Structure 1
Amino acid sequence: MAFDKGLVTASGELTPDTVDFTCDIREMPVALARLTGITGFDGELAATLRVSGNPEHPEALAEVRVSDLVNEDVSFEEVPPVQVAGRAHLREDRLEIAMDASGLFEKPITSALTMPIAISLAPFAIAVPDEGVLDGRFESEAQLETLARFLLLDEHRVTGDLNVAFKIGGTFAQPALSGRAVIDGGSYDYDRTGTSLDDIAVLLVADGSRVNLERAEANDGAVSASGHLALDREAGFPFQWDVRVDRSRLVRRDDVTAEIGANLTLEGAIDAAMLAGTITVHTADIRPPERAPAMPATLEVVEVGRGTSQQHPAEAEQAPSAETAANTLERLALDMTVDIPGRAFVRAYDFDSEWGGSFRVKGTAAEPHVSGTLSAVRGRLHFLNRRFALGASSVSLDGSYPPEPTLDVALETKTRDLAALLRLSGPVSSPEIDLSSEPALPQDEILARLLFGRDLTQISPMRALELARAARILTGEGDAFDFLGRTRSTFGIDELELTQGDEEGEGMAVNVGKYLTDRIYVEMEKGLGEQADQVSIEVEVTRNITIESDVGTDSEGGVWLQWKYDY
């Protein structure tokens, strides 16, 4: 029988007393495995099978060789072709299996297993005695960089050598494992978080009924782990793994850096486990982008000629693995504390603050419930051309899922004639912004005094536009881009505006102002037309008395004494 270029020949007979069967497979394309639902592989298969003897206790010999085995998925394009050779021999109710794989690493992977098994063809039956003795081995010298590519750990860069040598003994009901796995000179980098571990050394030792992690450390011992796994099938292979992280900078990104310490324990069995302990964020520096990236639009795609109830093949392949991952996360319970004693800085373009607090993480890995509060230590915000001091403020989580942080942020600033309070409150997804003052004034009047230090009736048309933009920002409708504001910040000045002259024939002018002290303000006006340039100085003598003076390039000028009283 021919399949593509492959050829299958078979012959044999089965009687009550004897069985004699032979099957040969030559040059069979591995890609034909898609007929059985196994897709994505290519290579060439050759195999032979011989079955003879008494049907109740037959003897069988199978040999398999796969040449140039590859996965055609583009994710595996850097994984070299693998050569696989295997042999299985059944006789006297014992099965001997041996398999070698070469090409993936510098040295072949070798494995062998001898186990009791009773196979009958007449009648057909298979039995594995629980007390049957096992005898096996597994050996490999692997390069971690190649292993990471094979496991599709594309975002994880791993180097080092993994040497494994294990022997399998005991019985089918109570297996025993002996040997060791060693990693020397390893390193690990994860670009997404900027995590980097160097000088990784691991020693895993099996002593029969337990596998012990005797040594696991990195970064000169700052990161370490220990633990054990019991080879007890009836108890679900119970385990306990302890992880300790001394103060280490494990997050290094352009927008986030953090020094973290941890004491965590993962304990349980295959069917249920718990992750418990404490994570301490010693320092953190968070620099969020000035403007959040736009979320891509989600388009609904309908394939013509295909029913809505059908599932895409790719979706069908991903569904089982996604379901398995979800079930695993549901079986992992959480009981952790995250402490942030302070020195957690949030630095945005116009915002600089320090925070501290504590959170408790309960629930499961699939549905974590986080509760706690992050409180402000100090901070400031440059907004509306003013410096606001961060008052008593907090960000809280109430343990609900999905988590929805709640803001209660107070920012305060003072001018010569009022104290203003900017408050953000409510859920972080849709906070309410409120601007109030003492003495109490309408919001537009507060904005005018904060922005320009003048009453609403004294501002120019250009300043009125800037005032309107500030009002839109407070309602969540404003554009984050502010050309004049960015220019002021870049050149370290307090005022920058374009004005239109009041007299006929006067053109546009650029006004640049700077507070030399809290009470002395200097402003320069550069005409863009024929009008003269001018320099003005304003000195606040008291809260109610101000002296103003200006002089122009046309030699005109003057000095004024201004008195005002708010009632």
Structure 2
Amino acid sequence: EVAGGRYEDLALGILLTDIKASVTAGSGKGLKLEPVRVEASMSDGRGGLVTAAGSLHPEGGRLDLDAAMKRLRPLRRTDIQATLSGTASVKGTLMAPQVAADITIDEALVNLNRLTGSSVTTLPVEGTSEAPEPVTEKKEGHGSLDVSVRAPGHIAVNGHGLESEWQAGLRVRGALNDPLVIGSVRSVRGQFDLLSKIFTLRPSTISFNGGAVSNPLLDVTLRYEVPDITADVRVSGSVRRMKLELTSTPSLPQEEIISRVMFGRGSSELGRFESLRLAAAVARLAGFGSGGLGVLDLGRAVLGVDVLRVNSATDKESGDEESSLEVGKFIGEKIYLGVEQGLEPDSTAVIMELELTPHSKAGIRTEQDNTSAGVQWKMNY
């Protein structure tokens, strides 16, 4: 007998307590051995319970075990929580067990903001035509697995601007040491904060077709609707090779779609501040899937400024190209205040610009020995 047992997996965040188990072996008549009786139970410490009972036949090592879960919450993690119920059985023999289960996810929560993951990327390697095909050693199967996982709803996936609910139907079956996962996870409802606007999650699917569990196929669509445009963002492909498509009704170029979503008007009608925000949004979507911030993006985030860029100009007298660093911030939506510093100590300039209309602005530039002012007008065709 075992009483007061405890199982803890720090890597996966699993904790089971109050483990009780008893193994009873009896001798029969003569040399014949009676089956060994096994009974066990364990808790998650929060009201969930697992019970198991069955027998092991010494002759041939045959198994006959049955287990049941009732609202078990085994995970003690900040990124993933789940409540599980269902039944399971183990038949066959000790050398080749046949495991079957029917599991229901009563509710679950995935917090994307706290989700852990590896920063190491596996790169595909292509060999020459002369290189022989790699021979993969086939794993010898010992036992089988047949598990059905159902989630009628109540799977919340939140974080990074996403608030959503999903449902799932999965089947895990095959060799015990190399099973296949078949099925899908489907959206119920949700919304996503993108480009400072709220997009609605359209019917979307994450499919498992027998490949790697960590690399399912994606078909996720987000929609933003206003009277003059309907914009769709679709993420497709696999997790390792995601593709983003931006379309609209009526059909418009990507930059125009983003402009109308963010500001409610075309890019030709934007002021300087809005044009910079548009350019940043286009660059961010164009780099989708690359991960990470650029050096200037990181600098802007750290310094808390709106503009951080390197300017270059040609000196009218010497013809040499000169570089300078500009740092600035927008005061409200109309006024821009910045400082530009060249390579020389006395090449500091203060810049102030006032947006008059979407097509015109007034500016003042003050340097150490010169002050200039002017009005600019532009029209994009």
Using the size of structure 2 for normalisation, the TM-score is 0.68
Distance of 2:163 and 2:299 partners within structure 1: 21
Aligned pair partner of 2:109 in 276, 285, 293: 285
Partner of residue 98, structure 2: 274
Partner of residue 408, structure 1: 219
Partner of residue 377, structure 2: none
Q: Is the 8 A contact 2:48 2:73 kept in 1?
A: no
Higher RCO, 1 vs 2 (CA within 8 Å, ≥6 residues apart): 2
Instruction: Return closer, same or farther for 1:333/1:381 CA change in 2, 3 Å cut-off.
Output: same
Partner of residue 165, structure 2: 354
Distance of 1:272 and 1:448 partners within structure 2: 61
Partner of residue 143, structure 2: 332
Q: Is the 8 A contact 2:299 2:308 kept in 1?
A: no
Distance of 1:436 and 1:376 partners within structure 2: 21
Partner of residue 196, structure 1: 15
Corresponding letter in the other structure for 1:387: I
Q: Is the 8 A contact 2:258 2:278 kept in 1?
A: no
Partner of residue 133, structure 2: none
Distance of 2:55 and 2:116 partners within structure 1: 47
Unmatched segments (≥5 aa) in structure 1:
1-181, 299-322, 491-495, 501-506, 513-522, 537-567
Matched, 1:442 2:253: yes
Instruction: Return closer, same or farther for 1:369/1:283 CA change in 2, 3 Å cut-off.
Output: same
Distance of 1:197 and 1:358 partners within structure 2: 26
Structure 1 position 275, deviation (Å): 0.6
Aligned pair partner of 2:120 in 285, 295, 307: 295
Distance of 1:471 and 1:410 partners within structure 2: 15
SS at match of 1:470: helix
Q: Deviations over 1:491-521 (max 9, x none)?
A: xxxxx95599xxxxxx955144xxxxxxxxx
Partner of residue 554, structure 1: none
Structure 1 position 446, deviation (Å): 0.8
Structure 1 position 294, deviation (Å): 2.2
Matched, 1:462 2:286: no
Corresponding letter in the other structure for 2:280: E
Instruction: Return closer, same or farther for 1:206/1:509 CA change in 2, 3 Å cut-off.
Output: closer
Partner of residue 211, structure 1: 36
Structure 1 position 354, deviation (Å): 1.1
Distance of 1:271 and 1:292 partners within structure 2: 34
Partner of residue 191, structure 2: 380
Equivalent residues, number: 300
Q: Is the 8 A contact 1:266 1:275 kept in 2?
A: yes
Using the size of structure 1 for normalisation, the TM-score is 0.47
Distance of 1:224 and 1:437 partners within structure 2: 54
Larger radius of gyration: 1
Identity of aligned residues (%): 27
Unmatched segments (≥5 aa) in structure 2:
28-33, 124-136, 310-326, 339-349, 358-381
Partner of residue 432, structure 1: 243
Matched, 1:239 2:63: yes
SS at match of 2:277: helix
Corresponding letter in the other structure for 1:199: D
Distance of 2:300 and 2:176 partners within structure 1: 44
Distance of 1:486 and 1:355 partners within structure 2: 33
Corresponding letter in the other structure for 1:249: R
Distance of 1:297 and 1:277 partners within structure 2: 33
Distance of 1:446 and 1:485 partners within structure 2: 25
